[in-house]
Amino acid sequence: MPQVRIIAKNFMDMVASLPTMKLDKLYTNPFICQAILRSLPPLAKKYVLEMLYIDGPVSAKMLEEWVLTDGSSKHRVAVDRLIQLRIFSETVDRKKESSYKLNTTFQINLRKHLTDREVLPREPMPPNIVARLSSSEELEAYALGQWECFLLQLINSTQAEKPTNFSSSMMKIFQRGLLSQRDKEAPRLTESGFQFLLMDTNAQLWYIIREYISNSEERDIDSADLISFLLELSFHITGEAYNMNTLTEIERHMIKDLADLGLVKLQQGRKESWFIPTKLATNLSVSLTDSSSRKQGFVVVETNFRMYAYSTSKLHCEILRLFSRVEYQLPNLIVGAITKESLYNAFENGITAEQIISFLQQNAHPRVAERIPTVPENVTDQIRLWESDLNRVEMTPAHFYDEFPSRDVFEAACDFAREWSGLLWEDSKKMRMVVKAEIHMQMREFLRGQK
Amino acid sequence: MASVPSKLYSDDVSLVMVLLDTNPFFWTTSSLPFSQFLAQVLAFLNSMLLLNQLNQVVVIATGYNSCDYIYDSSSAPNHSSEDARLPALYSNLLQKLEEFMIRDEKLGKEEPRGKLASSLLSGSLSMALCYIQRVFRSGPLHPQPRILCLQGSPDGPEQYVAVMNAIFSAQRSMVPIDSCYVGAHNSAFLQQASYITGGVYVKPQHLDGLFQYLVTVFATDLHSRSFLQLPRPAGVDFRASCFCHKMTIDMGYICSVCLSIFCKHHKKCSTCGSVFGQAQSDNTSASDRKRKAPET
């Protein structure tokens, strides 16, 4: 099974891995330049800004002079990122001194942004055509509802009320890596599936979008087009209506899928149809850098391992069910208990104690979020203890050696293994030893030499 | 643990309070025209907003008689309709600035011109701190605040106490005060402010390249500062102003109760009312009484 890593920030890696031609094409769009700048690590942002009005190349030494010794790793990360994204081009001169130059298209676009009036990706429709726009609360509720519905369907819950329009093959692709299905068994969430559910909305969204984009390549749609449209979408104003006619064929096709995810709301007027970006869409470029959730938490954990979750969401209930025993449910409250059994269940599914704790901390109800610690220490300690209970035995692949011809050879072999720090156990009386599997090859070579 | 490492990056979200010196008495004498100065500052403000969607910029005009908020990126309407040639930030700010200048000038007419054309730094510092306090109280998630003083006018010794109080309260709430001084001589107030609060004090050598100074030094977020080498103070002028005549002095008398500073001997402390005993200054040598308070 292909290993799917669940890391929200990988989206920029995807952009970075685009071929040169496509990347250069992306940079002709000022909005993408802006979104990509915002996604950079802070130090990289600073370098770009510094060099914005410098036309020639800047020597690498000059940049490094600003960095303190303990920041040099961050400096490397920043510069590598910039080169990877082709924002910096590195040139090495005859004296082997390297210098960096900003990508010209990128530079011009950002300069324009600083001095000229910012242009909207597209003008919103005048309010007299659009019949009635929903309020921002309605829109947010719509977006979250849509997203939740999608997630419920994703984890194959029976709770999902209305199916989304994604074809089942599309859904399968999203589920790849998140669910595993053995023959004739109900599909079970994998370890990364759990991780996925515990992530916040923005991170989840990027994961899905990444899958969506990589899948679109199989359908012969240029991924650069999709990326640029998504990033552009994040610069639209929430709650304004935009005409569908301004979209290209591909975008129009895509926006239907985005509506299923809750990124946009589609509405049909008498003559024209339009789309309204929701918060999820406009937060897209924020979440590239900052995936910490900015929404209110809902969970209160008490020292007696009882957990109160003020939520009406079925999804929340499903998530809590992953690691706790839900005792009863009121219209706006889920009451559960964190028990040894429920946690063992979670650990068996590959979910770690740290994940559970960080989920509880990140989603703490505002009343307890101010307190330190937000989750009682005895609870967090106990969760960790229960996890370490399961890890009392550590497995190390190893090889067993015996029947050494002489004590000298045995001792030399022991010393050799110790030098490679691979000796796990020795019994000098019976001349037996156990050595880590990694150094088995070296060990064999060594013993052959001894003969 | 997918979301934890990425959380570190939210550290660079910053709130920059920019204190803009608009003192007309200074700008008429300055080598750098105000319009050029403003153009570079505006580009800097825009680049701060460009860096992060959550960054916030607030501009406070420091006038001769008054000071006022002239721009707040969190409450500004995104798009202005009147002036289509300029970004929204510029047109909003310029309009507010103009209104402010007119108001500031009117206030000044009644008053006779003072001897020193200093601007009201203490006022704008206090306003910035008030704003930051409000942000602190808004909730657990707020941008990292810092203050940037763009000052050109000379220090007003009569504001000494107020400015120092503002500096100490900034220090207490861990808000660094950066200062970029475009005037002729170094400003002791700003040097001390940056020194005490851990900010950066820069007096640009080439005023044409002000923008480059601003983005290289002052655009650095607090998180990145911990691993960057930023300009260090060459020397800080620690001189104080006396409380009685508001003069900057090298040596003076200090009340042992409330630490008020006086340039000459008084019978009673004007701040706390402590009665000073007979000064022994008359019979002892001058070196003995330096920087010492008379016994009470």
In order of start, what are the domains of chain B with their CATH numbers? Answer: 14-108+116-226 (3.40.50.410), 239-277 (no CATH)
Report the range of poorest mean pLDDT among A60-69, A75-84, A192-201, A309-318. Answer: A192-201
B220: nearest CA partner in chain A: A46
Q: How many CA atoms lie within 13 A of A436 on its CB side?
A: 14
Q: For position A184, what pLDDT does the model report?
A: 55
> How many whole angstroms separate alpha carbon A299 and alpha carbon B10?
23
> Judging by DSSP bridges, how do beta strands A299-301 and A306-309 pair with one another?
antiparallel
Q: Is A67 helix (H, G, I), strand (E, B) or coil?
A: strand
In tens, the pLDDT along A369-428 reads: 777 788 889 999 999 999 888 888 878 889 888 888 888 888 888 888 888 888 888 888
Three-state DSSP at A120 gives: coil
Give the other-Cβ count within 10 Å of A344's Cβ. Answer: 15
Looking at the predicted structure, is the pLDDT value of residue A163 above 70? no
B87 with A358: Cβ contact below 8 A: no
- Could you list the pLDDT tens digit for every one of the 296 residues in chain B? 333 333 333 567 889 999 999 888 888 888 888 988 998 998 898 888 888 877 889 999 998 888 999 888 877 665 444 445 566 777 888 888 999 988 888 887 655 555 567 888 999 999 999 999 998 887 767 788 999 999 988 888 888 889 999 999 999 999 999 999 998 888 888 999 999 999 999 998 888 889 999 988 998 888 888 888 888 777 788 888 888 887 788 888 888 888 888 888 888 888 888 888 765 555 444 444 444 444 44
| Domain locations in chain A as residue ranges | 11-115, 127-284, 299-391, 398-450
Say whether domain A11-115 belongs to CATH 1.10.10.10: yes
Q: For residue A407, with 0-12 CB atoms within 10 Å meaning exposed, 13-18 middle and 19 or more buried, which class applies?
A: exposed
Same CATH fold assignment for domains A11-115 and A398-450: no
> Which residue from B2, B85, B229 is facing A203, i.e. has the nearest CB?
B2
Q: Does B223 touch chain A (CB under 8 A)?
A: yes
The overall average pLDDT reported for chain A is 79
Judging contacts by C-beta atoms under 8 Å, the chain A residues touching residue B221 are: 42, 46
State the pLDDT at residue A78: 87
What is the interface pTM, i.e. ipTM, of the complex? 0.78
Q: What is the pLDDT of residue B4?
A: 32
Flag if B229 and A68 touch (Cβ within 8 Å): yes
Dist CA A47 CA A32 (whole Å): 18
pTM (2 decimals)? 0.71
Among A33, A81, A118, A361, most B C-beta atoms within 10 A, so best to mutate, is A118
What is the Cα–Cα distance from B248 to B236, expressed in whole angstroms?
Answer: 14
Identify which of A277, A285, A15 has the alpha carbon closest to the alpha carbon of residue B54: A285
Residue in A46, A68, A370 closest to B140 by CB = A370
Among the partner-chain residues A34, A66, A70, the one whose CB lies closest to the CB of B50 is A34
Joined together, the tokens standing for residue A147 give 């997203």
CA distances from A27 to A84, A88, A250, A395, B146 (A): 14, 13, 20, 50, 32
CB B160 within 8 A of CB B131: no
Distance from CA of A446 to the nearest CA of B (A): 41
The per-residue pLDDT for range A190-238, each reduced to its tens digit, is 667 777 777 767 777 777 887 787 777 777 777 777 888 887 887 777 7
List the single residue in A74, A117, A118 with the smallest CB-CB distance to B227.
Answer: A74
The topology (CATH level 3) of A398-450 is Alpha-Beta Plaits (3.30.70)
Q: What is the percentage of chain A residues whose pLDDT exceeds 70?
A: 83
Of B84, B211, B224, Cβ closest to residue A53: B211
Put simply, the answer to whether B50 touches A52 (Cβ < 8 Å) is no
Query: How distant is the Cα of B51 from the closest Cα of chain A, in angstroms?
Result: 6
Candidates B3, B38, B81, partner chain A, best to mutate (most A CBs within 10 A)? B3
Which residues in chain B belong to E strands, given as ranges? 14-21, 56-62, 67-72, 144-151, 177-181, 201-202, 240-241, 248-249, 253-254, 261-262
Cβ A114–B50 below 8 Å, yes or no? yes
Mutation test of the interface with chain A: which of B12, B13, B48, B53, choosing the one with the most A Cβ atoms within 10 A?
B53
Answer yes or no: do B54 and A195 touch at CB < 8 A: no
List A residues 351-380 in contact with B (Cβ-Cβ < 8 A).
352, 354-355, 358, 362, 369-370
> In this complex, do A292 and B86 lie within 8 Å of one another by their Cβ atoms?
no
Rounded Cα–Cα distance for residues A271 and A268 (Å): 8
A74 at interface of B, judged by CB pairs closer than 8 A: yes
In terms of CA atoms, which chain A residue is nearest residue B141?
A294
Contacts of B229 in chain A (CB under 8 A): 65-68
Which of B224, B226, B229, B230 should we substitute to test contact with A (largest number of A Cβ atoms within 10 Å)? B224
Kindly determine whether residue A114 and residue B51, on different chains, have CB atoms separated by under 8 Å. Answer: no
- Cβ of residue B88 closer than 8 Å to a chain A Cβ: yes
Interchain contact, A114 vs B224, CB within 8 Å: no
Chain B residues with beta carbon closer than 8 angstroms to that of A37: 50-51
**If DSSP codes are grouped into helix, strand and coil, which group holds residue B31?**
coil
Residue B205 in tokens: 């050598």
Q: What is the pLDDT of residues A314-359, one digit of tens each?
A: 888 888 888 899 998 898 899 999 999 998 888 887 788 888 888 8
